[in-house]
Amino acid sequence: MLSKIFSSAVTGIDAYVVEVEVDISQGLPSFSTVGLPEGAVKESKERVKAAIKNSGYHFPADRITVNLAPADVKKEGSAFDLPMALGILAATGLVQRDSYSSYLFLGELALDGMIRPVKGVLPVAITARDLGFKGIFLPKENAPEAAVVEGIDVFPVGSLPQIIGALRGIQKLIPLKSESNPFFHGRSFDLDFKDVRGQENAKRAIEISAAGEHNLIMVGPPGSGKTMLAKRLPTILPPLTFQEALDTSKVYSVLGLMPSGSGLITERPFRAPHHTISDAGLIGGGQNPKPGQVSMAHNGVLFLDELPEFRRNVLEVLRQPIEDGQVIISRANFTVVYPAQFMLVAAMNPCPCGFLTDPKRDCSCSHIQIRKYRAKISGPLMDRIDIHLEVPSVPYKDLSCDEEGISSAQIMERVMNARKIQEKRFSRTKILTNARMNSRHIREYCPIDAQSSNLLERAMEKFGLSARAHARILKISRTIADLEGSENIRSPHVAEAIQYRTLDRKMVR
């Protein structure tokens, strides 16, 4: 007696089909699982046996062999419980092959036959649709997440008897339909730039950063508002497109962090890991690799507060994700790729005590201490940060002012206009924003006149800027021109962009 049930597993953030083959033959009672099962998969035989018996079905007292194909790929997680139980019951003739052969099944079984939620449902639903399956049976808690994928029926189930009844035609299951557009709810934020007093220069730099998706570092004394400004950055970023929401949600789905009852992540992520984080926690990894904070910030913001306090090896692993927009993790037998297209926003004090640039408090740090503190951030990493921003202490007159500043909605409108210009400019390319331009794009889209060229040449020679800094200045100049609606980059745009490379001029090497 042989049966074959289709299930799925996830590698990276993409899913692949797993064929759960069940053979029941005469012999001493046994239950063997083959196909490189990991710990949770090996333990599933006890859950499956108890769930079948406690649901009122007969568990065969024969030799049971379960093969998870492809057999040369490691299988982990508890999502194979349901297809294994269905395979055993199908092999005994309880359900007919034509009732399940066009569907995909996954779910964890409780000992009483109830079905518990699992991770990675969204990429599984996408794969099932792309491979032509009619539908997917999964835990009801995961159904809203899978239902956002159009072109496939999603059947939420709560117990093993319920799904058996559906396959035998005794009980009818109605596929769950997702709401037509999860973005119609609008955006609401508790934070707003109008609450920030003073810091007009910083707000301007953050607006440029948001408009061109440029990486940003803020340097200033404690209490100057660096964290306050960073937390408000998502309020001026454009809303996620459906494809961006889908890509971001796949990461959270694999980690099992999708909000309860939510089909998609509809707001841009804002991740702020603590400075004690490990390199694996930041970019992903582990024995069984999982996405890290940079992937959780995909299409959003990664905020690193107190940047020099992070371990140097942790900061250095950021180079590839910043440059390539993805993380590649290799193991002996496989390689996984996680998306990591994020805006890096960092904050740091100018010295260990924090008061080097504060006009009202004296710095107690020596020159050597300042050098060691700043040397924790390597030159190559700093080169990859487009905008260097000094954030001074806020004067009392600005703090006590009752007049509200410009709101996030007003800033976002300007950002959106600049993004529309970039969308039109890059319509025939694979990039979306100025920050993602490579050298070929810079030559094509960032021409400057003789006056601007002379200005940039003098800055390069005086401050010893690198070739990467030169490219960053041109990108920022392009974004400033877009914010003004200017087709050409003019010398004021280049001059302002040069001002945002302060650490190239002032950092002690």
Q: Do residue 121 and residue 229 come from a single domain?
A: no
Q: Do residue 110 and residue 13 come from a single domain?
A: yes
In DSSP notation, 27-53 reads SS-EEEEESSB-HHHHHHHHHHHHHHH
Cα separation values, 109 from 51, 87, 116, 169, 383, Å: 7, 14, 6, 22, 51
Q: Kindly state the average pLDDT of the residues 111-124.
A: 96
Q: Kindly state the average pLDDT of the residues 245-252.
A: 94
pLDDT tops 50 at residue 509? no
Q: Kindly state the average pLDDT of the residues 286-304.
A: 94
Cα separation, 451 vs 470, in Å, equals 16
Residue 188 lies in a domain: no
Q: Are 66 and 32 in contact (CB under 8 A)?
A: yes
pLDDT tops 90 at residue 213? yes
Helices 160-167, 81-91: axis angle to 10 degrees equals 50
Q: Do residue 138 and residue 250 come from a single domain?
A: no
Cα separation, 272 vs 305, in Å, equals 7
Residue 277 lies in a domain: yes
pLDDT value of residue 129: 96
Q: Do residue 108 and residue 214 come from a single domain?
A: no
Q: Are 82 and 105 in contact (CB under 8 A)?
A: yes
Q: Do residue 283 and residue 424 come from a single domain?
A: yes
Tens digit of each residue's pLDDT (9 = 90 or more) over 344-361: 999 999 999 999 888 888
Residue 414, CB half-sphere, CA atoms under 13 Å: how many? Answer: 19
pLDDT tops 60 at residue 52? yes
Q: Kindly state the average pLDDT of the residues 123-147.
A: 95
Confidence band of 83 (pLDDT split at 50, 70, 90):
very high
For the chain, give the percent of residues with pLDDT over 90: 78
Domain CATH for 65: 3.30.230.10
Q: Do residue 111 and residue 200 come from a single domain?
A: no
3 state SS of 400: coil
Q: Kindly state the average pLDDT of the residues 366-388.
A: 90
Residue 60 lies in a domain: yes
Phi, psi of 437 (to 5 degrees): -65, 140
Q: Do residue 198 and residue 117 come from a single domain?
A: no
Tens digit of each residue's pLDDT (9 = 90 or more) over 459-502: 988 888 888 889 999 999 999 999 999 999 999 999 999 999 87
Q: Do residue 374 and residue 231 come from a single domain?
A: yes
Tokens representing 181 are 């557009």
Lookup result for tokens 């006890």: 46
pLDDT value of residue 183: 55
Domain CATH for 220: 3.40.50.300
pLDDT tops 70 at residue 85? yes
Closest CA to 13 of 330, 291, 332, 270: 291
Q: Kindly state the average pLDDT of the residues 213-218.
A: 96
Pair type for strands 153-157 and 135-139: parallel
Phi, psi of 330 (to 5 degrees): -110, 135
Cα separation, 80 vs 37, in Å, equals 10
pLDDT value of residue 186: 58
pLDDT value of residue 21: 97
Q: Are 368 and 489 in contact (CB under 8 A)?
A: no
Cα separation, 497 vs 205, in Å, equals 10
Cα separation, 171 vs 159, in Å, equals 13
pLDDT value of residue 227: 94
3 state SS of 184: coil
Q: Are 280 and 323 in contact (CB under 8 A)?
A: no
Final residue before a domain boundary, out of 119, 150, 167: 167
- 19 or 242, which is more confident: 19
Q: Which residues contact 438 (CB under 8 A, 6 or more apart)?
A: none
pLDDT value of residue 177: 84
Most confident of 123-132, 169-178, 355-364: 123-132
Domain count of the fold of the chain: 2
pLDDT tops 60 at residue 508? no
Domain of 331, in residue numbers: 193-506
**Average confidence score pLDDT of the chain:** 91
Cα separation, 313 vs 448, in Å, equals 38
Q: Kindly state the average pLDDT of the residues 390-406.
A: 79
Closest CA to 210 of 483, 484, 426, 503: 483
Cα separation, 84 vs 35, in Å, equals 13
pLDDT tops 80 at residue 254? yes
